[in-house]
Amino acid sequence: MTEKINYDVANEMATSDAASIITSTSSEYDPVKEIALQLGVEYVDYPDFEDVATIKTGKNLLIKRAIWKEQSRRVALKYIFGVDTEEQHKKLENEIMRALQNLDDDNLLQLYGVSQDLESTNCMLVLQYADSGNLREFLDQKEQPWINKLRIARDIAYGLRHLHKAGVVHGDLHTQNIFIDKYRAFIRAPRMISPDDTSLTYYKSAPETIPYVDPKIVNDETSLPDRHSDIYGLGVILWEILSNQLPFKGQTRLTVEEMLKISREQTTHIVPEEYIKLLQDCWNDDPEKRPTIEQVCKQLKDLLRNNPDSQRKETQMDESGEEDFTFDESIPYQSREIKENGHTNSQPYQSRDIQENGHINSQPSLPPESNDLDIPRRSTQSAVNQRHKRYSKMYQTLKFNFQQTKTTVFNAFSKMSCLRSKTTDT
């Protein structure tokens, strides 16, 4: 009888040890880390951020900026809200999947990872930081020289070209989905549009975005956004960059005729007729007759090439056979005026704004960029390698923890078997 009691006690103790190990392992399960692991993005521990400060709040909106210590870079932390934890995690998955459509391009907003606030337990996206906010906020800050506006237009077109080349339709282009950082523009991730998404009610949830939507989609709710509708929205954005005005008055969207009239009445800048023609083409009633994104990029590139403020140091041929322009950034950027004797007279770079009286009002512009035209993008191979290393490190850590837990559980059951064997022998 005593032997039977000893056996039952030993068996219960060993089982309890194994159960406690499994329970403690399960208690360490973090759904946010699991989502990050499954979707292939990095999980960043919240203590890895410093100088955290709130930059934007609103209904179900909280965005902070911070320094990511490991990467020594400023990032934006976008909080994800939900009525409960399950909804919050579902929204996090959707936001990650949406952000991952942005691929790896300089003119597309990049997702660096996810994290979780230690106090509120809210999960968040770790995103590329934009020092000037969205494009609408940037345009409201001050009037920009024409050359700056051309560069921003070019960047937006390049970002959209990258998406279209990858077979991705953005479907939600407007100035609040475009961000500016150090005078460089990049586009927020596109909407995830599926073939069965025919309601498209999200377009009408915010009246201020309707002017950017292809009239064909507004008038026919069964129509899905496509590349042609992206071009229409891009045309409205190019007009807004030019005019620095909103494409609507109150709740009424401006007509194409009204926008073209405003464009031609511009007196702040000398606006090339080619730019006005580009807007008209983007708004063609027949979507099939609108230019492709490749054609838009080429026209903007030509406008930059012919702009007197766009200085070129040398030309080279890129992989597509087109001319690329690069700059020598080791010396101060200067404009050059050609004299009759053939020599150049270098002066500090200035933009030229033509006023109504015909005089030139010169004011400093942004520093030169090494990508004024169709410059090859910086190599992303190193960035890809770094991500692969980080994912490999995450995988190895996870694998090590799993092996360690498995070994501990195995030892516990071995201990239980030994005790059972000894009790039986006794």
Does 399 fall in a domain?
A: no
Q: Which residues contact 179 (CB under 8 A, 6 or more apart)?
A: 109, 128, 130, 132, 133, 134, 135, 185, 186, 187, 188
At 77, which CATH number? 3.30.200.20
151 and 116 within one domain: no
| Average pLDDT rounded to a whole number, residues 47-67 | 93
**CATH number of the structural domain spanning residue 283:** 1.10.510.10
**Would you state the pLDDT for residue 130?**
94
Phi, psi of 17 (to 5 degrees): -60, -45
Domain span at residue 244 reads 133-308
Q: Which of 386, 387, 381 is nearest to 41 (CA)?
A: 387
Q: In this predicted model, which residue has the larger pLDDT, 276 or 218?
A: 276
pLDDT, mean over the chain? 73
- Domain termination residue (choose one: 94, 128, 162): 128
HEC readout, 88-154: HHHHHHHHHHHHHCCCCCCCECCEEEEEECCCCCCEEEEEECCCCCEHHHHHHHCCCCHHHHHHHHH
Same domain flag for 122 and 138: no
Is residue 104 included in any domain, yes or no?
Answer: yes
Distance CA 156, CA 150 (A): 10
Q: Residue 409 domain-assigned?
A: no
Residue 284 domain flag: yes
Could you tell me if 63 and 184 lie in one domain?
Answer: no
Verify that 112 and 141 share a domain, yes or no.
no
Tell me: do 287 and 143 sit in the same domain. yes
142 and 102 housed in the same domain: no
Distance of CA 185 to the CA centre of its chain: 10
Instruction: Mark which of 109, 128, 147 sits at the end of a domain.
Output: 128
Cβ-Cβ contacts under 8 Å for 50 (sequence gap 6 or more): 66, 67, 69
What is the pLDDT averaged over residues 298-308? Answer: 92
Who has greater pLDDT, 128 or 12?
A: 128
Instruction: Specify whether 245 is located in the same domain as 279.
Output: yes
On whether both 104 and 147 belong to a single domain, the answer is no
Q: Are residues 76 and 153 in the same domain?
A: no
Tokens of 378: 């910086």
| The last residue of a domain, from among 258, 276, 308 | 308
Lowest-pLDDT range of 79-93, 131-145, 198-212, 225-239: 198-212
Domains identified in the chain, total number = 2
Average pLDDT (148-159) is 96
142 and 109 within one domain: no
Same domain, 246 and 292: yes
215 inside domain = yes
Is residue 204 situated within a structural domain? yes
| Tokens read off for 261 | 């009239």
354-395 pLDDT per residue, tens:
333 334 343 444 444 444 544 444 434 345 444 544 554 454
Burial class for 206, CB neighbours closer than 10 Å (0-12, 13-18, 19+): exposed
pLDDT range class, residue 231, cuts 50, 70, 90: very high
206: alpha, beta or left, given left = phi > 0 and alpha = psi -120 to 50? beta
Same-domain check for residues 224 and 298: yes
Q: Is residue 346 part of a domain?
A: no
For residue 22, what pLDDT band results from cuts at 50, 70 and 90?
very low
Confidence of residue 127 (pLDDT cuts 50, 70, 90): very high
Residue 80: its pLDDT value, please?
A: 93
Average pLDDT of the segment spanning 111-123:
92
Determine, yes or no, domain membership for 412.
no
Cα separation, 186 vs 229, whole angstroms = 19
